[in-house]
Chains A and B, each alone.
Chain A
Amino acid sequence: MENILLREKVADLQSYFACGGYRALKKALALKPAEVIEEVKKSGLRGRGGAGFPAGLKWSFIPKDAPGPRYLVCNADEGEPGTFKDRELMLKNPHALIEGMAIAAYAIGAETGYIYIRGEFTAECALLEREIASARAKGFIGRNILGSGINFELHLHRGAGAYICGEETALLESLEGFKGQPRLKPPFPAVKGLFASPTVINNVETLAAVPAILEKGGEWYAAIGTGKSTGTKLFSVSGPVNKPGVYELPLGVTFRDLLEKNCGGMREGTRLKAVIPGGSSTPVLTAEEAWAVKLDYESLATAGSMLGSGGVIVIEEGRCMVKLLQVLARFYHHESCGQCTPCREGCGWIEKLLNRLEAGRGTKKDIDTLVSVAEGMLGRTICPLADAMAMPVISFVKKFRSEFEAHAAGNYCPPDAPVKR
């Protein structure tokens, strides 16, 4: 099927417009805001940032009669290890995002929108700045959009390099100029978000899917996918595959199809050992589990993992799982904001335990401690960063315990296959 998001030759306004761009916005402006929300609800579009919350429902949480401004924020702080889809999407199809935001803003009654973009994305920033300016010049955003009397001003805001600012409330704090630390919920952003006003925060990929939904209808979109997981999803595939990269596929595609049909299979001489299916924070799947799994919200949940951001990390036999987990732990330890106790203390503890095991100084007891520390963090913090550390730890040890035990016994390289370098 044809790609909805990752389309070629639409990176500038002229070509985007030539391919029918901004027709959806015009169509949306002719509808009532509630009808736009209804269409998105019908599409079954779910949040593509990781949590998978239904987008139309999220929009409908904005209080109807609240006085004062509302805000639309696009979360483009893509920082989850193994995830690089938003970046690709913004480069290839920036106007899908801009148009999607204009439609979403109209639906929720926001006159101001922000794209909070990861600071390191310099090329994407420059491109977006340019394309936002041209969309403004053509009257697609700004004051009195397409003569409708509706205003929508869109700003690009660059983050300063903290992973935590991808968490929506930390993002809001950062956007307001404070230290990026997650807020307590409730109140939820829909009630009290940016500048204490009702706010919707959506991922880039979610918003970029909106124009197609408006143009072709929610039912059309809902027909793609599995019925519960609707539409297409971007998968960022990394690891020893022949063609790593970003792939747009209908939800419910099998991992086998993604790997073999799209990515050209495993690189020669390598065999699949494990897969992290949805970005580094999602539980790992063994090769056996991965070969059998479909990539959609429900199937992955049933398999004990998550669709997450769709960052598929392919791991080959011979790769040391202890080392891999150590790398992840270093990341989460470094990125924990330190606000609440279990994450602040637990992430560091986990990294230290893994350092010890990886260096061959660990014990069997350290493996149990590792799991119990992770369990002590799980579900007990303000935001999901602690869970993002705990879930891989628990699943890595559960599924690859023998490797951890081999390390504890002093044989600190993977026992399952000789390393080929």
Chain B
Amino acid sequence: MPKITIDARTIDVPKGTSVLEAAQLLGVYIPRYCYHPRLSVSGNCRMCLVEVEKAPKLLTACSTEAAEGMVVRTDSEKVKAARRDVLEFLLINHPLDCPICDQAGECGLQDYYMDYSRAKSRFPAEDKVLRQKRRALGPHLVLDNERCILCTRCVRFCSEVTKTSELEVMERGDHSFIDLKEGKALDNGYTLNIADLCPVGAWTSRDFRFKQRVWFLKKAPAVCLGCATGCLMEAHYNDNTIYRLVPRPNAETNTWLCDRGRMTYKAAAAGDRLSKGVIKNGLIDLEPALREAATRIDEAKDAAAVLGSPWLSVEDNAALALLAGGMKTENYCFDFKFETGIADGILVNKDPSPNAAGAARVKAASGGLNFEEFLARLSGGKIKLVLTEARAAGLLKDALKASGARLIVFANNRGEIPAGAYATLPYASYFETPGTFINYQGLERRTEPVVQAPEGVKPLWQVVNKLSAYSGASLRLDSAEDALKGLDKK
């Protein structure tokens, strides 16, 4: 454990720790562009130069290993001058187009300029090296080579994380630029991480570009429900609209976020968002839709069935379990067995649903059929009506068709409604209501409401509560937690 002194404060660090990381442990921030904790060290930006006692030159903190007795200064005049100079070098050929740059407000050049430089430009505009502007590369990104500081984070991400190596620095000197390698396309499924990694406005997201100035955005923690990995993320929103999802790096699951996961916010604000009930193909108000659904459920008696959903939170599955209890039917199931594990070596899970483990917890408390038994009963004609969530209904597809059982589903969007559904009831998405999800590792994660649901759209447990009132098996739930408590009592 080498003992290192940084700005007169001493710390023991594990062998192999860099000066930059050691400083971070002490709460001393050393500015950096090319350094990223999850990428290899390239030492090219020279922003993290620090003064090390006995070293004749300034050293890059990112690539210098902390050694026993090392004495480092990050705030000396020499270091400050180096930072000013490096920033000036980075800015001479930069277009300084902040007013029209989407990165403004979260730009490493802007931030460090304010923190470490504030020098006047000495470089005539007509001398600037011109490069290619705004080029769409891949389905999600736009590249502006003129704004690029050649830190190579994007190049290293593609070679080290996705191992697809689409990008490279072409040419040399001050005319070098980032480009796609010949014959490659930038569509590795993780490309939007490049927009996050890029410390400047060179890589921007095609989806997010010009939608919102970042200083207007508010941030809320969220969990990705795109698959069983359950990545932690952060939703950036303003004025009741989510504008983008970015990773919330954590040791358990993710540093990054996949492109598909980042787009999951779109459904909440999509044009086909349901705010009313649907009976057959016609929209009707929620109350009559609930009444109709309740009538059909009562009618089916013990041939009615409830299928939980691995796409719903633990609370909402619990509410469905309570409803099944009130309906006095044996036909309910919270059993979903998917193969789990990381499918692509990065983040995407073999299990496409976010909460099979959460449903299993409900099953443990409430019992119920195995999925195979449920399917057998459905195919065997013992089930005449199925109440479930839209995507879970997809798991029954053939059996449903064969048995001709009535299907009542909960759905967020019209596009989710399975063909042949008898009734559809809208519910609030998990960007609008809290919920607990358990990922494939058994980690419990909670989503928090980021935006408000469309008017009249309620969380699923509330819809279930109302449905229970209409059907005469009233649950009287006051909160999502009530559903969990009710389940515990069972």
Residues of A participating in the B interface, judged by any CB pair closer than 8 Å: 162, 164, 179, 184, 333-342, 344-349, 352, 369, 376-377, 379-382
Q: Mark B106-124, 1 if CB is under 8 A from A, else 0.
A: 0000000000000000110
CB-CB contacts below 8 Å: B144-165 with A: 149-150
B174–A348 touching, CB < 8 Å:
yes
A380 x B85 contact (CB < 8 A) = yes
Do B89 and A333 touch (CB < 8 A)?
no
Decide if A349 touches B123 in the complex (CB within 8 Å). yes
Question: Which B residues touch A162, using CB under 8 A?
Answer: 172
Of B38-46, B262-270, B368-376, B455-463, the segment with at least 4 beta carbons within 8 Å of chain A is: B38-46
CA–CA, A179 and B89, complex, Å: 23
A–B pairs, 19, beta carbons within 8 Å: A179-B169, A184-B41, A333-B173, A333-B174, A334-B173, A338-B176, A340-B46, A341-B46, A341-B47, A345-B93, A346-B89, A347-B174, A348-B129, A380-B46, A380-B57, A380-B58, A380-B82, A382-B43, A382-B44
The reply to whether B86 and A342 form a contact with Cβ atoms under 8 Å apart is: yes
- Say how far A363's CB is from chain B's closest CB, in angstroms: 11
Which residues on A sit within 8 Å (CB–CB) of B239?
Answer: none
Q: Say whether, besides A338-B174, A344-B173, A380 and B49 are in contact (CB < 8 Å).
A: yes
A341 with B173: CB separation less than 8 A: no
B residues within 8 A CB of A347?
A: 173-174
Query: How far, in whole Å, are A379 and B171 apart by their CA atoms in the complex?
Result: 24
Instruction: Point out the residue from B45, B63, B122, B150 that lies within 8 Å of A338, measured CB to CB.
Output: B150
Q: From residue 27 to 59 of chain B, which have CB atoms closer than 8 A to chain A? A: 41-47, 49, 56-58
Q: Which residues of B contact A348 (CB under 8 A)?
A: 93, 129, 173-174
Q: Are A342 and B89 closer than 8 Å at their CB atoms?
A: yes
User: Could you tell me if B173 and A379 are in contact, using CB atoms closer than 8 angstroms?
Assistant: no
Q: Which 4 A-B pairs have the closest CB atoms?
A: A376-B85, A345-B89, A338-B176, A348-B174
Tell me the nearest residue of chain A to B129, going by C-beta. A348
A342 touches B85 (CB 8 A): yes
| B88 close to A (CB within 8 Å) | yes
Asked if residues A341 and B172 are in contact (CB atoms below 8 Å), the reply is no
Given contacts A333-B173, A336-B172, A336-B173, contact A341 B90 (CB under 8 A): yes
A346-B122 Cα distance, complex, nearest whole Å? 13
- Given A335-B173, A382-B43, A345 and B58 touching (CB < 8 A)? no
- A-B pairs with CB below 8 Å: how many? 88
Does B478 have its Cβ within 8 Å of any Cβ on chain A?
A: no
| B43 with A345: CB separation less than 8 A | no
B45 to A341, Cβ gap below 8 A?
yes
**Which of A334, A340, A369 has the most chain B CB atoms inside 10 A of its CB?**
A340
Q: Knowing that A341-B45, A380-B58 are A-B contacts, what are 11 other residue pairs whose CB atoms are under 8 Å apart, sorted by A's residue number?
A: A162-B172, A179-B169, A184-B42, A333-B174, A338-B176, A341-B46, A341-B47, A341-B90, A342-B89, A345-B89, A345-B90
For the complex, give the distance between the alpha carbons of A162 and B176 in Å.
Answer: 14
Question: What chain B residues lie within 8 Å of A179 (beta carbons)?
Answer: 169, 172
Shortest C-beta distance, A355 to chain B (Å), equals 9
Q: How far is the CA of A341 from the CA of B176 in the complex (A)?
A: 12
B34 vs chain A, min Cβ distance (A):
9
A337 touches B172 (CB 8 A): yes
Which chain B residues lie closer than 8 Å to A346 at the CB level?
A: 89
Give complex CA distance A361, B418 in Å. 74
Question: Residue of A at shortest CB range from B47?
Answer: A341
Q: Which residue of A333, A339, A352 is within 8 Å of B127 (Cβ)?
A: A352
A184 to B174, CA, bound (A): 20
Q: Which of B387-405 contact A (CB under 8 A)?
A: none
Q: Which residues on the B side are within 8 Å of A381 (C-beta)?
A: 46
B286 at the interface (CB under 8 A from A): no
* A340-B43 in contact (CB<8A): yes
B92 within 8 Å of A (CB atoms): yes
Shortest B125–chain A CB gap in Å is 12
Interface residues of B in 248-286 (CB under 8 A from A): none
Q: Determine the residue in chain A with the shortest Cβ distance to B149.
A: A341
* Cα(A341)–Cα(B49), bound, Å: 12
With A336-B173, A336-B174 as contacts: A369 and B122 at CB distance below 8 Å: yes
Cross-chain contact A338 with B173 (CB below 8 angstroms): yes
Of chain A, the residue at the smallest CB distance from B45 is A341
Residue in chain A with minimal CB distance to B33: A341
Q: What does the 1/0 interface line of B60-94 toward A look like (CB < 8 Å)?
A: 10010000000000000000011001101110110
In the complex, how many angstroms separate the beta carbon of B15 from the nearest chain A beta carbon?
Answer: 14
Contacts of B47 in A (CB 8 A): 341
Bound complex: CA A335 to CA B171 (Å)? 11
> Which residue on A lies nearest to B58, using beta carbons?
A380
- Bound Cα distance A345, B86 (Å): 9
Partner of A379, one of B44, B58, B172: B58
Chain B residue contacts of A333, Cβ below 8 A: 173-174
Q: In the complex, A334 Cα to B173 Cα: how many Å? A: 7
Query: What is the chain B residue whose CB lies nearest that of A382?
Result: B43
Given the complex, which residues of B lie within 8 Å of A164, measured CB to CB? 172
A120 to B191, CA, bound (A): 42
Interchain CB contact under 8 A, B173 and A340: no
A349-B123, A376-B88, A380-B57 given; A342·B46 CB < 8 A: yes
A344-B44 Cα distance, complex, nearest whole Å? 10
Which residues of chain B come closer than 8 Å to A352, judged between CB atoms? Answer: 127
Chain A residue with Cβ nearest B175 = A338
Q: Which A residues touch B43, using CB under 8 A?
A: 184, 340, 382
Contact in complex: A344, B176 (CB < 8 Å):
yes
In the complex, what residues of B have CB within 8 A of residue A341's CB?
44-47, 86, 89-90, 149-150
- Shortest CB-to-CB span from A120 to chain B, Å, is 18
* Min C-beta distance of A89 to chain B, whole Å: 29
Give every chain A residue within 8 A of B89 (Cβ-Cβ). Answer: 341-342, 344-346, 349, 376
Q: Which of A333, A339, A341, A376 has the most CB of B within 10 A?
A: A341
Q: Which residue of the partner chain, among B45, B57, B171, contacts A340 with CB atoms under 8 Å?
A: B45
Known contacts A345-B89, A349-B92, A379-B58: A184-B173 contact under CB 8 Å: no
Chain A's closest residue to B126 (CB) is A352
State how many angstroms separate the Cβ of B283 from the closest Cβ of chain A.
Answer: 60
Chain A residues with Cβ below 8 Å from B171 are 338
Q: Complex formed: what's the CA distance from A297 to B124 in Å?
A: 41
Complexed CA–CA distance, A342 and B91 (Å): 11
Nearest-neighbour CB distance to chain B for A9, whole angstroms, equals 42
Which residue from chain B places its CB closest to the CB of A344 in the assembled complex? B174
Residue in A closest to B168 when the chains form the complex, CB atoms: A179
Most B Cβ at <10 Å: residue of A334, A345, A376: A345
Docked pose: A340 CA to B56 CA in angstroms: 19
In the assembled complex, the CB of A111 is this many whole angstroms from the nearest CB of chain B, namely 30
Task: A184 to B63: give the CA distance in the assembly, Å.
Answer: 8
State how many angstroms separate the Cβ of B167 from the closest Cβ of chain A. 13
Chain B, Cβ-Cβ closest to A345: B89
Decide if A340 touches B129 in the complex (CB within 8 Å).
no
Note all chain B residues with C-beta closer than 8 A to A337: 172-173
Q: Of all chain A residues, which has the CB nearest B62?
A: A184
